[in-house]
Amino acid sequence: MADIYASYPSLRGRSVLITGGATGIGAAFVGHFARQGAKVAFLDVDDAGANSLLGTLQDVAHPPLFLRCDLTDLDALHAAIAAARGHLGLIAVLINNAANDVRHALADVDAAAFERNVAVNLRHQVFATRAVIPDMQQLGGGSVICLGSTGWMKKNAGYPLYAMAKAAVHGFVNGMARELGHQHIRINTLVPGWVITEKQRALWLDAEGEAEIARVQCLPGYLMAEDLARMALFLAADDSRMCTGQDFIVDGGWV
């Protein structure tokens, strides 16, 4: 089945760094890039998930590198990026994927919870991007892919700080596109709808959720992590050389 989808020769041997790559959407990114022949490193705190993923990718040309890293610790983030660079070479593609859409009410949010949400969903995207820009400058170009969300676009209830942080990701991408573009570095937002991962199945995909998908999505069926990964491949490859500062929405017509 995988053979019916696009192959990107420009990704072979290209160094790709992915945050939050052990499970869910991130794991799909890791697997798809590795099977395109890219050299992949991914950051996560889920040792079991990472090791399980690595076990499925032993046959690829460049087995991925897992680096355990708490992305809310900026010193640890910078150290992990340096380790990835040491293993892969200069970073050509960064996918800022890690996030947590934990439900919360504004009445329950204190200053610590606010800072934690920004650290988990926004801050690491900014500082990881900052850290790899010199690599891409040396390479003569690169691609940064920041994960956004349709959650704030649809005015969904239940996670106001997550929505705030994801809206800010879009602002960051728009704010950097011209500056980076002059250096042949592309930066885009990859915007998922309701992606049915194992976490979503366990926590929120009930009969009401099924009905909402049927009612709201234009296309029938589940939106899967693989659908996001295929768009990420395009945005990382030379095929998208004139695409920057854009929202690439993959949501089955949710918005």
CB 151 within 8 Å of CB 102: no
- pTM for this one? 0.94
What is the per-residue pLDDT across 162-177, written as a single tens digit (0 to 9) for each? Answer: 999 999 999 999 999 9
Q: Which residues are known catalytic residues?
A: 162
- Collapsing DSSP to helix, strand or coil, 32 comes out as helix
Q: Are 63 and 31 in contact (CB under 8 A)?
A: no
Strand order in the sheet with 15-19: 65-68, 39-44, 15-19, 93-96, 142-147, 185-192, 247-250
Domain positions in the chain: 9-249
Q: What is the pLDDT of residues 43-102, one digit of tens each?
A: 999 999 999 999 999 999 999 999 999 999 999 999 999 999 999 999 999 999 999 888
User: 51-60, 98-107, 128-137, 231-240: lowest mean pLDDT where?
Assistant: 98-107
- Please report the DSSP string for 45-77 in residue order: S-HHHHHHHHHT-TTSSS--EEEE--TT-HHHH
**3-state SS class at 150:** coil
Average pLDDT on 25-46 reads 98
- d(Cα 244, Cα 145) in Å, to the nearest integer? 10
* CATH tag, 9-249: 3.40.50.720
236, containing H or E segment: helix 225-236
Amino acid at the residue 110: D
